[in-house]
Chains A and B, each alone.
Chain A
Amino acid sequence: MNRISYTLTLFAIVLILSGCTKEDAPIVLNEDYLQVADALQYCQGSCTETLLWEGNEILLKGHIPNIEDDSVMQDYYAGSRFYLSDIRNGMFLEVRVEGEKDAVFEILYTVSKQDMVFIRGTAESLIVNEGNECLKGLIIELVLSEDIKINL
């Protein structure tokens, strides 16, 4: 009986400890195209510090939600932005088009919803207030139309 209790207790401790070791090792943002969910999880932090990823080049891949809805695309164009989503778990982030807007949207109008879109942009921070806590989240700045590719 005692041996069984010890075994079960030990098992529970191992289980809990294994769940606690979940720090993310540093990743290179502009080496491989990152999934949107990875980028959102990795690129966040406190407002009180300058984070390593801020202002760095980043490669991202994802799908564009509502790409086949004309009114949504008009809104995207008017706001000089679009969204990139991770269809695996629903997370998404904003991409701001800062440069060749017309050329970028020319490309976007050829995209269908099942196409994977690959972009090279700059990781910028966005201030997000959660209750009393001030956090930084991620948005992407896209300048050149050549930095957006479809189905690589």
Chain B
Amino acid sequence: MIKKNICLLLFVLFTMPAFAQQEKYINVDIGLLQVHQDFFKLYDGVFDLGANYNRLLFSSFYAGVDFHLGYIHRKNTTGRTSIYKPGIIFNYHILVTQKFAVIPQARLGYAFLSLSNNEFNYREMQSGWNPGAEIRLLWKRDRPIEFYGFGRFDYIYLTKDEAFTKLNSYRHVYLTSFGLGIQIKSGKK
């Protein structure tokens, strides 16, 4: 099941650039991560770090590939979870003024959660679909590098694994992050 999902995602990732035009940009950002309720409620978020590559599809509509890594832990323990989030993204650039643009973004990915607790030699991997949404406020400049602030919401629906949990509520993972990033442009519209 996981292999099938990954194959589907890779197919979309590799075929999408064929439909794209010239203008492209790369984002790199880091934010403070928070995890909400349910299974991970005793965890503290640490960071959400990653990058994405975007190409203009048409008008101000871009598509791209994205990879982010989230890291959460339990204070004063060896309980850690790393969240690997590859995905595809679609965003639309709305020019608010000459200097600022608002960029709403939707993403669909497949997340891998690596849970560990070294004190008990415990390690396991869980995974699941990962839709998400993000909004960026971009400070536009006439230079290749621009800056932005972002707010991001990730939802992960873990694949059913009764050895991990028998409860549906524990299969839902909610993450938010807020932070800053840089956008590196190349190519022309």
Residues of A within 8 A of B (CB): 1, 4, 7-8, 11-12, 14-15, 18-19, 22-25, 27, 32, 34-35, 37-38, 41-42, 63, 87-91, 113-114
Contact = CB atoms under 8 A, between A and B. Distances in A.
Nearest to B37: A22
Given A22-B169, A34-B166, A91 B174 contact: no
What 9 pairs across the A-B complex have the smallest Cβ distances?
Answer: A90-B42, A22-B169, A87-B120, A24-B167, A87-B117, A11-B106, A27-B166, A90-B74, A114-B120
Interface in B109-145: 115, 117, 119-122, 124, 131-133
B168 interface: yes
Contacts of A23: 168-169
B87 to A, nearest CB: 13
Contact of B131 (A1, A11, A22): A11
B165 A11 contact: no
Contacts of A42: 167
Contacts of B169: 22-24, 41
A1 B117 CA distance: 48
A13 to B, nearest CB: 11
Contacts of A87: 79, 117, 119-120, 122
Residue of A7, A23, A90 contacting most chain B CB atoms (<10 Å):
A90
Contact of A41 (B59, B133, B162, B170): B170
Contacts of A88: 39, 79, 115, 117, 122, 124
Interface string B159-178: 00010111111101010000
Contacts of B43: 89-90
A113 B133 contact: no
Size category of the binding interface on chain B: 35 or more
B168 A22 contact: yes
Given A7-B106, A88-B79, 16 more contacts: A8-B104, A8-B106, A11-B106, A18-B155, A18-B157, A24-B168, A32-B166, A34-B166, A38-B166, A38-B167, A87-B117, A87-B122, A88-B122, A89-B74, A90-B79, A114-B121
Contacts of A11: 106, 131, 133
B121 to A, nearest CB: 6
A23 B92 CA distance: 35
Contacts of B120: 63, 87, 113-114
Nearest to A63: B120
B77 interface: yes
B172 A22 contact: yes
A81 to B, nearest CB: 21
B53 interface: no
A148 to B, nearest CB: 19
Contacts of A7: 106
A88 B121 CA distance: 11
